[in-house]
Amino acid sequence: MTGGTEERSRRPFPTLVREAERGRANGAADPGRLSGRYCYLLDLDAGLAERLSLRMRMVARPIATAVVVDVPPGPLEPAELVAKPAAGLGALVVEGVLALDVQVGDRTATELIGEGALLCPADGVDDLGLLAHEARVRALEPARLALLDEAFLERVRPWPEITLELARRAVRRTMELNVQRAATCHPRADVRIALLLWHLADPWGKVGPDGILLPLPLTHQLIGQMVGAERPTVSHALARLSAAGLVTRCKSGLVLHGTAEHHIACLVARSEPGDAAHA
């Protein structure tokens, strides 16, 4: 569980190396790409730096650079980030929260992608598999992404620890999504929502005097897309959780009261007649 500020301040870029594609900035810029600046990636991501010894870190720091772009809230086209995504790892989330929406028919499921996670080249691609679907990526708040393209992979080749850590994160993201799927399989909507919120509290929760704050823009529609419920059902379930003193809302987000075990004891272990109808 990590701490955060109720209103995140925009951290300045760490030591800037040079303008990204300086020549294009003078009139030859690609209108389909977001502009950014080259930065020292090990300064931006402490987890990557910790994979290297101090001596290796000093050598790798000025070489392991990546273009970092500021992304405003709203829809995001992966093609705007990496010109040839298949040749690189994708985009590393440095700050902010992204939502990956996948729609099949008239139903949409959402995954949240946060700091330290990789937005892989396949995310946002529609032509995968036989089942027709549409994938969309959007920033829920101002975000910063580091573009890990083919040139980046070539630069960090002498330090496989960096690539290995990024691969571990991709696997970890898959496992976290599986945990979310398991947590949202319960027939009762209020139980699904409570378990989802505790799952989200691991990376985003902030311990406060009244409980654990989730400083995320969690609308009822977004929660519904994460637990497989309609918005009115989510509103009803959150009202039940609030009446039970388990989840309340403040101006900074949702607050979880008690512990995950307490929520499970209050909700999962107690089954009331007609609860399945609220699923």
Digit-coded pLDDT (tens) for 164-216: 999 999 999 999 999 999 999 989 999 999 999 999 999 999 999 989 999 99
Report d(CA 160, CA 52) in Å as an integer: 10
Q: How many CB atoms lie within 10 A of CB 28?
A: 8
Average pLDDT, the chain: 84
Angle among Cα 103, 105, 110 to the nearest 5 degrees reads 20
Task: Please tell me which residue, 87 or 132, carries the higher pLDDT value.
Answer: 132
Bridge partners, 102 (sequence order): 109, 135
101: amino acid identity, one letter: D
Q: For residue 141, give the CATH number of its domain.
A: 2.60.120.10
117: amino acid identity, one letter: A
Task: Please tell me which residue, 235 or 271, carries the higher pLDDT value.
Answer: 235
Predicted model pTM: 0.82
93 and 198, same domain (yes or no): no
Give the CB-side neighbour count of residue 166, counting CA atoms within 13 A: 25
**Residue corresponding to tokens 């399945």:** 276
142 and 252, same domain (yes or no): no
Residue 69 in any domain: the answer is yes
- For the segment 64-73, the average pLDDT, to the nearest whole number, is 94
Host domain of residue 207: 184-278
- Ramachandran bin of 90, using left for φ above 0, alpha for ψ from -120 to 50, beta for the remaining angles: left
Report d(CA 117, CA 166) in Å as an integer: 8
Among 8-17, 158-167, 268-277, which is the least confidently predicted range? 8-17
Residue 137 in any domain: the answer is yes
Digit-coded pLDDT (tens) for 256-266: 999 989 998 88
Count the domains in the chain: 2
In the chain, which ranges are continuous DSSP H helix? 22-23, 41-44, 46-49, 54-60, 150-155, 160-183, 189-204, 220-227, 231-243, 260-267
Residue 4 in any domain: the answer is no
